[in-house]
Chain A
């Protein structure tokens, strides 16, 4: 069961009510992890609207999560 570190930004931060958390998860991929978190925190953004970064690099939704991974789900951006 990997232990992952999560950071939240923007809308997800507000909905989660925290900036970061460490979680033991049964999820093997970011896709499964987001589904778990959406249920836990009531995230309304569908995964199709998000990107995911693992260890500060954009990552595939189906990659395998490792113990100690830093995972960030990235909501639609609005720079500029």
Chain B
């Protein structure tokens, strides 16, 4: 039994299904695609199928194997008709057996979708009015081209500018709220090569601010879902998905090969990584971050020896001192607008437009609709730092403590919940006898630390508490600790 075959004669589903039976397979799903009597409003009488068989057989076998591996199905096969078919004939048949129905349905769906869209098989429809046509080809022959005329009309853009955009390579790190806006507008502008790095999957809680994703994308890799959406939006550009964690190795591999890198991440560790890789490769970087109703924008002109992120934030580990979208909340337009502002800076760079941000920090407050442009010059103290940037953010393991909270209480730790009051109400502490000092008040000095008794700081995920512990350690309080993984790490 071959995983993918062509047939010149009528397809018999039950005969094809027989060899897929397996004692361990509790589910079997089959799909039959049949010739329909209508397509796009025209009455269809018959079809002719033809295929580039050598390539289709190899690719078809790969599609079936891929679906088995990905969905954990037991066995599968697909048979496609060739030649002349009449209305009602079975054109394609897919059968999958699997331990349970979910895997069987999922693999069956994956196979038919991939076969329909990926294999070199064509159909010519014969219509009741005597006309005929190759499906997809005839429309594509008159396909709309992506029309840049409205931006070409700008005297600063023109054909020369458009051709610069077509040649440009832009790397976007993070396909969240900022990234969706950046990617959509750069794809629309016709930036020739976009690479998307994001290891995360689409979560339903992302959708309100990340409109590149549909509800059906929940659970998919963001980089892949975004690349697919952008390819459909503008088929004239090349979009590459990199569903990998952005680390120093990947940064070293990707950053030197692009014209601009755009930081759309939500944490300081990643931002420093982008900053350092850009500085090392002398590639300009456009960084942004958002917090509730505000945002910041900075363009690191590494190509011109400009000021960098470390010039403004000399202390490397700051995650937790400021909240992210998960902890602090965010309104959709905030990352969308800041992302569009990043795109504007990218286009200014690529097109050589005036007004580029350089050695500046742009502060945007969307409640007051205020924008402030602050000078952020190169910090002379950073010069050495920028040379030694290989060091990267420090690992901060030594403040972390891993143990159940009940054990910590029994061992005599003073337990301090540094979450916001609303979070405490939503998820109460699993122990009693703790204190509550929200992070903001702690940073203002509201927590009196007694040197003899160990003090354990607790937050939702262990990020803010680690930053707070480091903050207190830096002020001479050696006996302060952070609960690794926070309350989330205590579950189960």
Contacting residues, chain A, for B399 (C-beta < 8 A): none
Pair count A-B, CB < 8 A: 87
A37 at the interface (CB under 8 A from B): no
B52 touches which of A7, A11, A76, A80 (Cβ 8 Å): A7
Interface size class of A (residues with CB under 8 A): 20 to 34
- B34's closest neighbor in chain A, by CB? A80
Return B257 CB to nearest CB of chain A, in Å.
16
A39 at the interface (CB under 8 A from B): no
Q: Give chain A interface residues in 40-61, CB to chain B under 8 Å.
A: 44-46, 48-49, 53, 56-58
In the complex, the answer to whether A76 meets B137 with C-beta atoms within 8 Å is yes
Contacting residues, chain B, for A46 (C-beta < 8 A): 140, 143, 145
In the complex, the answer to whether A80 meets B112 with C-beta atoms within 8 Å is yes
In the complex, the answer to whether A10 meets B124 with C-beta atoms within 8 Å is yes
In the complex, the answer to whether B52 meets A44 with C-beta atoms within 8 Å is no
- A80's closest neighbor in chain B, by CB? B116
Contacting residues, chain B, for A58 (C-beta < 8 A): 55, 59
Known: A9-B52, A53-B55, A79-B116. A44 touches B141 (CB 8 A): yes
- Chain B 100-123 per-residue mask, 1 if CB under 8 angstroms from chain A, else 0: 000000000000100111111111
Contacting residues, chain A, for B136 (C-beta < 8 A): 75-78
Interface of B is mostly: mixed
A31 at the interface (CB under 8 A from B): no
In the complex, the answer to whether B52 meets A72 with C-beta atoms within 8 Å is yes
22 contacts between A and B (CB under 8 A): A9-B51, A10-B122, A10-B134, A11-B134, A14-B134, A46-B145, A48-B236, A49-B143, A56-B54, A57-B58, A58-B59, A72-B52, A72-B120, A75-B122, A76-B136, A76-B137, A77-B120, A77-B121, A78-B122, A79-B115, A79-B117, A80-B33
A interface with B by C-beta (< 8 Å) = 7, 9-11, 14, 44-46, 48-49, 53, 56-58, 72, 74-80
- By Cβ-Cβ distance, the 6 closest A-B pairs, closest first, are A79-B121, A10-B122, A76-B136, A80-B116, A11-B137, A78-B135
